[in-house]
Amino acid sequence: MIFTDTKNPDFAESFNELLQRGKMDIAHVSAIVANIINEIKTDKNSALKQHISKFDNWTPSCDEDLKISTESMSKAYDNIDSKLKAALHLAYDRIKVYHEKQKPKSWFDTEENGTILGQKVTAVDSAGLYIPGGKAAYPSSLLMNVIPAQVAGVEKIVVCTPTPDNEPNELLLAACHLCGVSEVYKVGGASAIAAMAYGTQTIPKVDVITGPGNIFVATAKKMVFGDVNIDMIAGPSEIGILADDSANANHLAVDMLSQAEHDEMASSILITPSQKLADEVRVEIENWLIKLPREEIARKSIEERGAIIVTSDMDEAIKLMNDIAPEHLEVATDNAFELLPMIKHAGAIFLGHNTPEAIGDYVAGPNHTLPTGGTAKFYSPLGVENFMKKTSIISFSHKAINEIGEACALIANTEGLTAHEQSVRVRMSK
C-alpha cells in the first residue's frame, strides 16, 4: 500500500503510479483474440462449440445446446428465497425508474420562414449483453445491462454468458426470468463478443454490445468496435474516497475493502487532509481484512494497489482526485454537496456519510457499469443512451431555401464542390 503525504519528496512518483493503475496491455492477447474472432466469423457455430470445449469444459452436441431454456430460468426464479426475490425486485424497480429519467427525447424547433430542425432519438434494433459467468456470475450485472436496453426500447435483447461445465449459475437464470430476458446463450469470452458482432447460425448479429469482462473480452470489444457499437473498454474496479475528520474510519476501511474484495487488480484510494483519519483507516483496514472470506484477494489488492494520501487541505485532495478520475468516488464529509461543483471527473459520486459505494452496485438506481482507470475523463456510465442513436432532422420550405441558399452555394463553390452548389441553386427562385 502507498501511504504517503503530498509533502514527501517522492510523492510525484507514487502518484504517477496511481495514474497508471488502469493501463491494460492488450498487446499480448491481441493475436489470440484476433484469431478467435476470425474463427467465429468463418466457422460460426462449429467454432463456438470448439471454443466451449476448450475453455468451458463441456461440448455442445447440437446448435440447440447453445441456448438456455426459458423453463430453466422460470424454475430458477421459483426456487430463490422470497426475501432475495423481493430484494431483486426492489433493485429492478429502482434501476428502471432511474433509467427512465435519463431517457433522451426527440425534439424539433421551427423558424418562421418554414425551417424545421430537430433530432429524432430511436432505440437500436438489437443489443447483445455480455455477462461474466462461473464463480463471478453476478445477477446485478444482468439487471444493470438489461434494464437500460429495455428502457431504450430495444426490440431484440440477447445475452451471452460462459457456463463452465455446462452448469449455468442459478441466480443469473433467476435474474433473467425476473427481467423478462428469453434469449440467453452459453457462450463466453472473445467468442461471445465475435458471435454477437458478426452472427452465427444460432446467435444473431446485434447493433450494440455492452457488459463487463476480462482482458480477452475487453480486447474483443475494441476489435469489433466500428462493426457494432460498444459501451466502453473497462478495466479493474476502483474506489476513490475524499474525506475529512468528520468521516468514520471504520466505515471508510470497509468501503475500501469492498473494492479490494472484487479483484486483486482493484484499486482503493483514500485522499484526505486529516493525518488522524489516514492513520485510523490504515488500522481499521487490517481489523476488517481478517474477518473477510475473500481476505486473500482483498489483502493482495490493498497491499499492491491501495493508497492513502494525506494532503495539506481539501482543495489539494480534490485536485489530485480529479487527476485520478476514479470509477467510484465517495465524498465522506459533512459538506459533500459544497464540494460537488469542484469535482470534475468520476464515474459515480457517492455523497455524504450514509452513502457507501455498495449501495450503488445494487439498489440505488444508477448504473454500476462505470468508466475505470481514469477514463471517467471522457466516458459516461452505461445508460439508456448506449442503446439509442440520434438522427438529425432538416426540412426547408421554398422561402427558407431562398433566404439561406445563397450563403450555402457560396461556401460550396469556394470548396470547389459544384454539384453541391447546383443542388441548392436549382431549388432557389430565379
CA–CA dist 144, 149 (Å, integer): 9
| Cell 438506481, located at residue | 365
Ranges within 100-159 binding a copy of itself (CB under 8 A): 101-102, 104, 107, 109, 115-117, 119-120, 122, 124-125, 138-140
Is 251 marked within a binding site?
A: no
Please name every residue paired with 269 in a beta bridge, in sequence order, or none if there are none. 240, 307
Does 359 interact with a copy of itself (rule: CB under 8 A)? yes
Is 403 marked within a binding site?
A: no
CA–CA dist 185, 203 (Å, integer): 8
Ranges within 52-91 binding a copy of itself (CB under 8 A): 83-84, 86-88, 90-91
> Which of 66, 178, 196, 260 is the binder for a copy of itself (CB under 8 A)?
260
Does 226 interact with a copy of itself (rule: CB under 8 A)? yes
Is 361 marked within a binding site?
A: yes
Q: How many residues at the interface with a copy of itself, by CB under 8 A?
A: 121
Is 201 marked within a binding site?
A: no
Asked if 154 and 124 touch (Cβ cutoff 8 Å), the reply is yes
Phi and psi, residue 99, nearest 5°: -70, -30
> Which of 242, 249, 266, 349 is the binder for a copy of itself (CB under 8 A)?
349
Is 415 marked within a binding site?
A: yes
Phi and psi, residue 310, nearest 5°: -100, 130
> Which of 44, 49, 186, 262 is the binder for a copy of itself (CB under 8 A)?
262
Minimal distance, residue 210 CB to a copy of itself, in Å: 11
Does 390 interact with a copy of itself (rule: CB under 8 A)? yes
Cα dihedral value 167, 170, 176, 178, nearest 10 = 160
Does 254 interact with a copy of itself (rule: CB under 8 A)? yes
For a copy of itself, the closer of residues 59 and 122 by Cβ is 122
Minimal distance, residue 50 CB to a copy of itself, in Å: 23
CA–CA dist 257, 138 (Å, integer): 18
> Which of 28, 61, 293, 430 is the binder for a copy of itself (CB under 8 A)?
293
Is 420 marked within a binding site?
A: yes
The maximal CA–CA distance of the chain, rounded, in angstroms, is: 86
Does 363 interact with a copy of itself (rule: CB under 8 A)? yes
Q: What is the DSSP pairing of strand 229-230 with strand 328-332?
A: unpaired
Does 283 interact with a copy of itself (rule: CB under 8 A)? no
Ranges within 369-388 binding a copy of itself (CB under 8 A): 370-371, 375-381, 383, 385
CA–CA dist 253, 58 (Å, integer): 41
Could you report how far apart the first and last alpha carbons of the chain are, in Å? Answer: 77
Minimal distance, residue 59 CB to a copy of itself, in Å: 29
Does 8 interact with a copy of itself (rule: CB under 8 A)? no
Does 176 interact with a copy of itself (rule: CB under 8 A)? no
For a copy of itself, the closer of residues 175 and 317 by Cβ is 175
Does 241 interact with a copy of itself (rule: CB under 8 A)? no
Question: Which listed range, 53-61, 177-185, 273-281, 343-351, lies at the site for a copy of itself (CB under 8 A)?
Answer: 343-351
Can you say whether residue 374 is alpha, beta or left, with left for phi > 0 and alpha for psi between -120 and 50 degrees? Answer: left
Can you say whether residue 281 is alpha, beta or left, with left for phi > 0 and alpha for psi between -120 and 50 degrees? Answer: alpha
Catalytic residues: 327-328
Does 36 interact with a copy of itself (rule: CB under 8 A)? no
For a copy of itself, the closer of residues 28 and 83 by Cβ is 83
Does 28 interact with a copy of itself (rule: CB under 8 A)? no
Ranges within 403-422 binding a copy of itself (CB under 8 A): 404-408, 410-412, 414-422
Binding residues for substrate: 237, 259, 262, 328, 361, 415, 420
Which residue ranges are tagged as binding site for Zn(2+)? 259, 262, 361, 420
